[in-house]
Amino acid sequence: MSSTDYQSGREALGARLRELRAEAGLQGKELAERLGWQRSKVSRLELGKQTATATDLEAWALALDAPGEVADLHSRLRGLDSQQRSWRRQLARGHRAVQDRYVAEYRRTSTVRGYKATVIPGLFQTPDYARHLILLNAELMQSPRDTDEAVNSRMRRQEVLYEGGKTFRILLWEGALHALVGPAEVMAGQLDRLNGLIGLSQISLDVISIGACQRR
């Protein structure tokens, strides 16, 4: 697991909350009124931008007249909390060991499929982008700062992009391109890196536009 995996978990929980609301035939504004919440809180929970509490989940299910969903929602939240604790334990000795493990896993894999909603995938990151992201994660998780070693390991992981017999199918939400992981020059370098990957036969990078998400 990584911090972005944790975010993906939050988004999966949010998707389930959104699904329950849709099944009840309610708009977000209507549900917010039932709960006595700001509309923005409903939106943040559904988009995975805020971690729900057990109380939030229970209130959500009861407001939709779906008390039978409470146990499942609580189970999903416990799984998310357990993943985060596991990730903290993995980072207790720094980020390099985690990056090294990914290097080994990718070398054993012939087809890589992934989805990222918050940051550029590690396989496509520039060293500067990776350095800023690892520093942010280290601060968030209060883990040792072996930044240079972790960045070097992440760059070694990218060697698999040019190995024969491998394919990479990545889906990226457009919002990840706007997330300011570092200063403007870092982001510009990262966009240039992505442009350089376009046209490589072994790589498929598709982007879900923000507008498409808003139309749903």
Its domain, for residue 7, covers: 3-90
* DSSP conformation class of 11: H
Tell me if 41 sits within 8 A of 33, measured CB to CB. Answer: no
Q: Both tokens of residue 72?
A: 């499942």
Question: According to the model, what pLDDT value does residue 193 have?
Answer: 95
Whether residue 129 is found in the same domain as residue 101:
yes
Q: H helices within the chain, ranges in order?
A: 3-23, 28-35, 39-46, 54-63, 70-90, 96-107, 127-141, 147-157, 175-178, 184-197, 210-215
Closest by Cα among 38, 37, 47 to 17: 47
- Verify that 84 and 129 share a domain, yes or no: no
86 and 106 in a single domain? The answer is: no
**What is the model's pLDDT at position 24?**
93
Which of 90, 116, 137 is where one domain is finished?
90
pLDDT of residue 216: 44
Same domain, 148 and 191: yes
48-59 pLDDT tens trace: 888 889 999 999
- Do 183 and 125 sit in the same domain of this protein? yes
Regions of the chain where pLDDT drops below 70:
1-8, 83-104, 140-145, 212-216
CA distance 30 to 37: 10
Q: Write down the pLDDT at residue 204.
A: 93
Residues 78 and 101 in one domain: no
Shared domain check, 63 and 34? yes
Do 57 and 69 lie in one domain? The reply is: yes
